[in-house]
Amino acid sequence: MTNSAWAQENNTQDLSISMFNSANIQTNTYKDPVYNFSLVPPAGWIPVTQANKSDTALVTFTNENPESAADFAIYYYQGKPIAPALSSAPDEWILDTALSKLFDSSKYVGYQKNIQRFSDGYVIQVVVSENKTTQNSPIIEEFSFWLKDGRQYFLVMTSSQNGVYQNAAEFEKSVYTFYVGAPPNTGTQIPPWVKNDAKWWSDGAINDQTFVGGIQYMIKQGIIAVPPTASNTNQSQQIPAWIKNSAGWWASSEISDDDFVKGVQYLISNGIIKV
């Protein structure tokens, strides 16, 4: 790999600085309005249909070079917000934990790893290859952008060994232009993992206070967006059984997000959730 890795190129630990350069908005040529990110793709690399390369990537670029083939895919995951306690965790621990989650150690070996912390999250850069590397084994370089609000973007290059340094250089140039805007704040937005909490609550695995506290925190942090709801002055702390039933049905995908939000709005309007 090149020595100009993203975390080294942006050599700073100033936690008041954002990981994204807003100036890139003007020059970035590829934009995804749904997941609110943009970048300049590697020079000469073209986007390909998901059927050809991946069923889960948001977009995949390829260099279309049979002699030194490489792909660049972008993935997205909505996770939980970064816990404040994580800010005091050692870099090495975060890197090792991230590697264990991203790559199966029985199949891959890591060659390079870096972490860079910013005001809005941190960026992890790793280089791995298969444990039993042959001349035909691909080299993988990944940049993981972990935002404090729980959004995670994974920029992954998979390159043949032939031409890997040039491919990595082009990939890293593109990564430097990566920009993510604020999460959309209209309509009903509920991360998939919230369904786990709803299921546990409906099954009695967590109590009312824990469920309400979790929903309240996510609304305040903007992770769950609900339409404006006036709070009733006649506040009640009793959660009707039908709301718990609705949570269970929603967790099982028997009712829609909007139906679940109606229950959340009821909790707000009756003072059970204060926002």
Q: Mean pLDDT, to the nearest integer, of 261-273?
A: 78
**Where is average pLDDT lowest: 145-154, 241-250, 255-264?**
255-264
pLDDT at residue 63, rounded to an integer = 92
Question: What average pLDDT does the chain have?
Answer: 80
CATH topology of domain 6-180: Protein Transport Mog1p; Chain A (3.40.1000)
pLDDT at residue 221, rounded to an integer = 65
Q: What percent of the chain has pLDDT over 70?
A: 81
The full set of domain ranges for the chain reads 6-180, 194-269
Query: How many CA within 13 A on the CB side of residue 160?
Result: 13
CA distance 31 to 25: 9
pLDDT at residue 131, rounded to an integer = 74
- If one compares 143 and 256, the residue with the highest pLDDT of the two is 143
Q: Which contiguous run of DSSP H or E holds residue 143?
A: strand 139-147
pLDDT at residue 11, rounded to an integer = 45
pLDDT at residue 268, rounded to an integer = 79
Q: Looking at this protein, which amino acid is placed at residue 253?
A: S
- If one compares 94 and 256, the residue with the highest pLDDT of the two is 94
pLDDT above 60: residue 187? no
- Residues ≥6 apart with Cβ < 8 Å to 6: 114, 116, 123, 125, 143, 172, 175, 176
**Where is average pLDDT lowest: 44-48, 63-67, 83-87, 202-206?**
83-87
pLDDT at residue 235, rounded to an integer = 52
CA distance 271 to 275: 9
| Confidence label for 40 from pLDDT (cuts 50, 70 and 90) | very high
Instruction: Dump pLDDT digits (tens) for 104-149.
Output: 777 777 778 899 999 889 999 988 887 776 677 888 999 999 998 8
140: left (phi over 0), alpha (psi -120 to 50) or beta: beta
Q: Which contiguous run of DSSP H or E holds residue 126?
A: strand 121-130
pLDDT above 60: residue 5? no
| Confidence label for 1 from pLDDT (cuts 50, 70 and 90) | very low
Report pTM. Answer: 0.63
pLDDT at residue 113, rounded to an integer = 87
Which of 75, 137, 145 is closest to 109 using CA atoms? 137
| Confidence label for 169 from pLDDT (cuts 50, 70 and 90) | very high
pLDDT at residue 225, rounded to an integer = 64
